Amino acid sequence: STEPLLDPPVSIPDPYGWMRDDKRENKEVLKHLELENEYTKSVTAHLKPLQEELYGEFLGSIVETDYTVPRPREEFWYYTRTF
């Protein structure tokens, strides 16, 4: 790694350094990531119902508030909001 991680800097081997591709153009890396994603989906497929249940719970706990743009009326500014 070229990053100074320690003082004094110590070279640390990075076994995944070959995967660094900031432009997302390396076909070998992209193929590897696609295969990793497919593997993860297959191994965690049995958790899909739990994932959907948790996602529903998260959405249920989010309070969405909508505001309108404040508009002047005489000397005061007014807006509306929903809860």
Q: Which pTM was predicted?
A: 0.55
- Give the C-alpha distances (Å, rounded to integers) separating 22 from 1, 26, 30, 34, 53: 15, 9, 12, 17, 35
Q: Is 73 helix (H, G, I), strand (E, B) or coil?
A: strand
8-62 per-position pLDDT tens digit = 667 778 899 889 899 999 999 999 999 999 999 999 999 999 999 999 999 888 8
Rounded to an integer, what is the distance from CA 55 to the centroid of its chain? 15
Pair 68, 78: CB distance under 8 Å: no
**CB-facing half-sphere around the CA of 24: CA atoms within 13 A:** 2
Average pLDDT of the residues in 61-81: 87
Confidence band for 7, pLDDT divided at 50, 70 and 90: low
HEC letters along 23-40 = CCCCHHHHHHHHHHHHHH
- The whole-number pLDDT of residue 4 equals 57
- The whole-number pLDDT of residue 36 equals 97
